[in-house]
Amino acid sequence: MEKLRLNPKWVSSLGLLAVVFVLLFSIGASSEKTPVRKFLRSTNHRELMNKSLRVQLLTKTKQREVTMDNGIVQVTLSSPDGFVTGIKYNGIDNVLETKNAEDNRGYWDVVWYEPGKGGDINIDKLTCTDFRVITSDEDQLEISFTRKWNISHRGSTAPLNVDKRFILRRGSSGFYYYAILEREEGWPDVDMDQTRIVFKLQKEMFNFMAITDGRQRIMPRPEDRESGQPLAYPEAVLLTDPINKELRGEVDDKYQYSLENKDYKVHGWITTDDTPVGFWMISPSDEYRSGGPKKQDLTSHVGPTVLNMFTSTHYGGKEINTEFRNGEAWKKVLGPSFVYLNSASSKNETLTLWKNAKTQMHREVQQWPYNFINSEDFPKKDQRGSVFGQLKVNDRFISERWMEADSAYVGLAAPGDVGSFQIETKGYQFWTKTTKKGYFVIKNVRAGNYSLYAWVPGFIGNYQYQYNITVTPGSKINLKVIAYEPPRNGPTLWEIGIPDRSAAEFFIPDPYPTLMNQLYNDHPDKFRQYGLWERYADLYRNRDLKYTIGVSDYTRDWFFAHVTRNIGNKTYEGTTWQITFELESWKRGNYKLQLALASATQAEIQVRFNNADRADRALFSTGLIGRDNAIARHGIHGLYKLYTIDVPSSHLQRGNNTLYLTQSRSIGPFQGVMYDYIRLEGPTGN
């Protein structure tokens, strides 16, 4: 190597630290283990932010790539495909997995198929054909990758026009992205099961995952899953010989790390070296997601993989599939969301990166809707409207006066039937929670026609405002006082559970000691342990569950899921649960059974009173219902269903009575329901 000659005057002006830096750099900065790389990696997040430079676009035509650079992060994308192939940050040349192909590092994809074409499922990574610059100045760069669909592409790509956008701003420690998907009128029928964006990180570096304050852990490696023992379905693997021996005997399953839309704001990974770096997915809004605030979906999982799920059939099945028929036209903006990177100067500060990511998430939420998005399809704040009012509850059997709807969920979604927001996937949804007094304000609503939906914890059923609501730019719509009258026939004779659309309050058994995820030991989300459905056959080996009103306690005596019983040799049988109760008085007329389900998977619930003979016709049957798979996927709830069942007084008697609930379908272990709440009401006027 040629000697580096230093001018004494230059040394004096720069100072000793600069000289040391130049000497280190001259030794060679390409190796991760070189002194300069360690120096660069020791720079903390605040110092990086202070090094902000003007934003610039670097183009390498021969390599077919473009790079956005603001001095803090460099984001490289293939052109014109639009795949994120590299993210350089804090001395790390690429936080994405360089061993993966360029289209398998940072990419959008859509799972789709044409109905009636044999059921072949296709994955379209939305590869684009054209690149253009939308905005470019010293403060912001927005670039676009597009493709236009035509009939010659039928069968090879999803029938969608695609516009993938990426934005880098001055001083920003990360980048924004969004996509505009469009169908033109007359295009072929299509089903789209899933739309998402995926980032796959360096597996040798990112080992610590954080989803919430209470759900953080060192994660297995992909090799650990490959060497492990597959369990009842492909996503679940028992780790038998992991690289980190402390993980031996644990179960890894990506569905154990799901979140509800209302909580789907920030999640990601942290490196476990001496100078930790964090990679975070931040979603400031859930207006572009489907299924309402309680819809669950995947977040991060072994890979290390970071997801942003926009639509999927997870925890809903085909009921929440996105279907287009009869040449339906459609356009939707998915995002924008923010990929955020941060760093700390020492390993002792690793967990501060999660705290900092949450702080950044709150900043992004406060800025929503962003004013720097350069697309006419994304309305600014002054192009949106708001809806506000007060929600009350009218249940005369609880109170003669209307009650304030405390902590109720109130939202706007596409017009439809009562509760249809759960399965609506094509439009935008806007949700909020009421105050203790029931007041609500739904802000930043896109112009359009909506129904207003709501439900109130502690009360069964769904509310829907009687008129559609048209939001225009700048409108402020005051609904004043609106009242929800929940389903009710007569006084409560007895009840089981809490009407909150979840089975979490019921008895959750301990997991098998050999099939545990240590994260959920002594955890409020104990229901996320693997294999809990099999514990029913252990606890009720020779008989089914029996529950006595006034004696039993649902937190101890009501199993969280009404499932089949494993009788050996991969054979299962239906099960019948009994609820024994006493009627001190009996009156002619119709009683009502309110049966609220938190989840259903290929199940059928048959209802009988004082008749245990399954050969006899049931008083009521749900028929075959549900494909949300929440039992297997540790979800504790899927799609909410409510059945109001007439019970003629001839089926009851004064004194002792027994209600039989039979789950009659029994092909496999995951068939069953999770109850939300059960109530028997007396006849009106009783």
Query: 336, 177 in Cβ contact below 8 A?
Result: yes
Residues in Cβ contact with 569 at an 8 Å cutoff, skipping those fewer than 6 apart:
none
Percentage of residues in the chain with pLDDT exceeding 70?
Answer: 92
Q: What is the pLDDT of residues 388-410, one digit of tens each?
A: 999 999 999 999 999 999 999 99
Q: Which two three-digit tokens encode residue 419?
A: 């509760």
CA 547 vs. chain centroid, Å, equals 34
pTM of this prediction? 0.90
Own/partner long-range contacts of 112-121 (Cβ < 8 Å, ≥24 apart): 112/158, 112/190, 112/191, 112/192, 112/193, 113/190, 113/191, 113/193, 114/155, 114/188, 114/189, 114/190, 114/191, 115/189, 115/190, 115/191, 115/323, 116/189, 121/193
Q: Which two three-digit tokens encode residue 294?
A: 């309680």
Q: Which of residues 672 and 29 earns the better pLDDT score?
A: 672
Q: Kind and range of the H or E element at 354?
A: helix 352-367
The answer to whether the bond into 293 is cis (omega within 30° of 0) is: no
**CA torsion sign, 353 to 355 to 356 to 358?**
positive
Measured CA to CA in angstroms, residue 110 lies from 88, 157, 158, 336, 671 at distances of: 27, 9, 8, 17, 28
Determine if residue 264 is left, alpha or beta; phi over 0 gives left, psi from -120 to 50 gives alpha, anything else beta. Answer: beta
- Given this model, what pLDDT does residue 234 score? 93
Q: How far apart are CA 626 and CA 606, in angstroms?
A: 15
Q: Which amino acid is at 332?
A: K
Q: Which two three-digit tokens encode residue 581?
A: 């109760």
Which single residue is written with the structure tokens 């760069």? 141
- Given this model, what pLDDT does residue 614 score? 86
Q: What is the pLDDT of residues 114-143, one digit of tens each?
A: 998 776 899 999 999 999 999 999 999 999
- Given this model, what pLDDT does residue 201 score? 98
Q: Which amino acid is at 334?
A: L
3-state secondary structure of 12: helix
Which single residue is written with the structure tokens 């679940």? 236
- Given this model, what pLDDT does residue 19 score? 32
Percentage of residues in the chain with pLDDT exceeding 90?
Answer: 88
- Given this model, what pLDDT does residue 99 score? 97
Residues in Cβ contact with 573 at an 8 Å cutoff, skipping those fewer than 6 apart:
564, 565, 567, 666
Q: What is the pLDDT of residues 260-281, one digit of tens each?
A: 999 999 999 999 888 999 999 9
Q: Which of residues 686 and 151 earns the better pLDDT score?
A: 151
Angle at 201 between CA 242 and CA 294, to 5 degrees: 90
Average pLDDT, the chain: 92
pLDDT at 367 over 70: yes
Q: Kind and range of the H or E element at 223?
A: helix 222-227
Is residue 44 very low, low, confident or very high in pLDDT (cuts 50, 70, 90)?
low
Q: How far apart are CA 342 and CA 146, in angstroms?
A: 30
Mean pLDDT of 329-338: 98
Pairing of strands 448-455, 122-124: unpaired
Of 28-42, 233-247, 430-444, 622-636, give the lowest mean pLDDT range: 28-42
- Given this model, what pLDDT does residue 43 score? 52
Q: How far apart are CA 228 and CA 62, in angstroms?
A: 43
Mean pLDDT of 312-316: 97
Which single residue is written with the structure tokens 């990426």? 166
556-594 burial code (b ≥16 CB/10 A, e <16): eebbbbbbbbbeeeeebebbbbebebebeeeeeeebbbb
Alpha helices in 500-657 (DSSP H): 535-539, 554-557
3-state secondary structure of 380: coil
Query: 169, 140 in Cβ contact below 8 A?
Result: yes
Tally of CA atoms within 13 A in the half-sphere of 501 that contains its CB: 20
Nearest in space to 261 (alpha carbons), one of 191, 331, 316: 316
Say if residue 477 is exposed, middle or buried (CB neighbours under 10 Å; 0-12, 13-18, 19+): middle
3-state secondary structure of 608: strand
**CA torsion sign, 550 to 554 to 557 to 558?**
positive
- How far is it between the farthest Cα atoms of the chain? 106
Tally of CA atoms within 13 A in the half-sphere of 267 that contains its CB: 28
CA 136 vs. chain centroid, Å, equals 34
Beta bridge partners of 159: none
Phi, psi dihedrals of residue 270, rounded to the nearest 5°: -130, 140
Is residue 23 very low, low, confident or very high in pLDDT (cuts 50, 70, 90)?
very low
pLDDT at 40 over 60: no
Q: Which two three-digit tokens encode residue 556?
A: 């101890």
Is residue 50 very low, low, confident or very high in pLDDT (cuts 50, 70, 90)?
low
Q: How far apart are CA 504 and CA 78, in angstroms?
A: 46
Angle at 171 between CA 165 and CA 176, to 5 degrees: 20
Which single residue is written with the structure tokens 């077919």? 64
pLDDT at 41 over 70: no
Q: Which two three-digit tokens encode residue 527?
A: 């229901």
- Given this model, what pLDDT does residue 8 score? 36
**DSSP, residue by residue, 395-427:** -TTT-SS-EE-TT-EEEEESS-STTGGGG--SS
